[in-house]
Structure 1
Amino acid sequence: MTWRWPQGLGLGVRYREAQFETWAQAAIPDIMAIEQLAYSHPWTAGNFQDSISSGYRCVRLCLQGETLGYHVAMRGPGEMHLLNLTVAPDHQRRGLGERLLGELIDHCKAEHLQTLWLEVRQSNQAAQALYAKAGFATVGQRKHYYPLDATRREDAVVMKLELQATQGEPA
């Protein structure tokens, strides 16, 4: 299934013109600015640099030079693991998370991967709804996975998408 712009979102032409591009070291300052606004416990520049150095798939959605969102994913044998999917706070709730996720799913299918995995904070109901809408199933939990504050941690919900071909479509 190729990603299609969701019907009924009422989005302006502005977001429809946004393009995907892979990113590397030079984009880290833009990525970090979004990461720090979006999360109480953001990834570090070193985390992103390590992802690039390790050959992880780093894709961002850009419009006229502005990064709207991004994802980082690690490939394994027959599968992909989504490590980070973030939309800039000023651009959230406009279908861009769905668009970023759709791009990754399409890539996984084109690469004939069988499974896409991810973890999401138990408290992040919006993200869980996004993933469920895309067909992900909850398959487990990782206790105390995410930092919550100086002394407490939050569980992660483990989700999985089986990337099986639909009728008339290659895997």
Structure 2
Amino acid sequence: MRWWDIDPVLELEKDLFPEDAWSRGMFWSELAHARGPEATRRYVVALEGDRIVGYAGLAAQGAAPDGEAAPVGDIQTIAVRRDQWGTGLGGELLTELLRAATAFECAEVMLECRVDNIRAQKLYERFGFEPIGFRRGYYQPGNVDALVMRLTDPSSSVQGTEING
């Protein structure tokens, strides 16, 4: 994802997450940490022709300056256009994020998922994520709980996977 992708990503964001869509500033802030030797973020878009049909982002956090503690990856967002649901695109985006987590040398990857988003939970479980807890009232408005999931050893989850295109 680059700065010129933000406007079409925001359109998709507002369609898919109308009540808690990210702002332009949030995406700018994330992308500011996605380039250069000190990068701690990886954001990608999926294209169909010249139209963005999905996007995803990961943050790597917590690496010790001495290199002794491995960073933890945190999946910030995964979104797929409604007309692309069931095509495998979500899995491709997740694969790319897990490859980034491996490149960042993350020991594990965390995420939050709405408790009522069973489709996403099944995707994460196929990749080896396990539920480890809840965050009560995490999604606002609506006071919807988040299921917290964790994947240990993200490098083993993406071995043998391949992104098309």
Q: TM-score range by the shorter chain?
A: 0.7 to 0.9
- Matched positions, count: 142
Deviations 1:49-107 (A, max 9, x none): 12112433211112322212111111112221001100011211111001100111122
Query: Hey, what does 1:127 align to over in structure 2?
Result: 120
Query: Hey, what does 1:5 align to over in structure 2?
Result: none
Judged with a 3 Å threshold, the aligned counterparts in structure 2 of structure 1 residues 100 and 165 are, in CA distance, closer, same or farther, namely: closer
* Residue among 13, 18, 21 paired with 1:35: 13
Q: 1:35-74 maps to which residues of 2 (within 5 A)? A: 35-41=13-19, 42-55=21-34, 56-74=41-59
Judged with a 3 Å threshold, the aligned counterparts in structure 2 of structure 1 residues 39 and 164 are, in CA distance, closer, same or farther, namely: closer
Once residues 141 and 99 of structure 1 are traced to their aligned partners in structure 2, the CA distance between those partners, rounded to angstroms, is 26
**For structure 1, which segment, 68-77 or 132-141, has the greater mean C-alpha deviation from structure 2 after superposition?**
68-77
Question: Gaps (5+ residues) in structure 1?
Answer: 1-22
Deviations 1:102-150 (A, max 9, x none): 11112222333211110011111111111011100001111110014xx
Task: Percent identity, please.
Answer: 27
Give the drift of 1:165: 5.6
Judged with a 3 Å threshold, the aligned counterparts in structure 2 of structure 1 residues 85 and 104 are, in CA distance, closer, same or farther, namely: same
Q: Aligned-residue CA RMSD in angstroms? A: 1.7
Normalising by structure 2, we get a TM-score of: 0.79
Question: Gaps (5+ residues) in structure 2?
Answer: 35-40, 64-70, 160-165
4+ residue runs over 3 A deviation = none
Normalising by structure 1, we get a TM-score of: 0.76
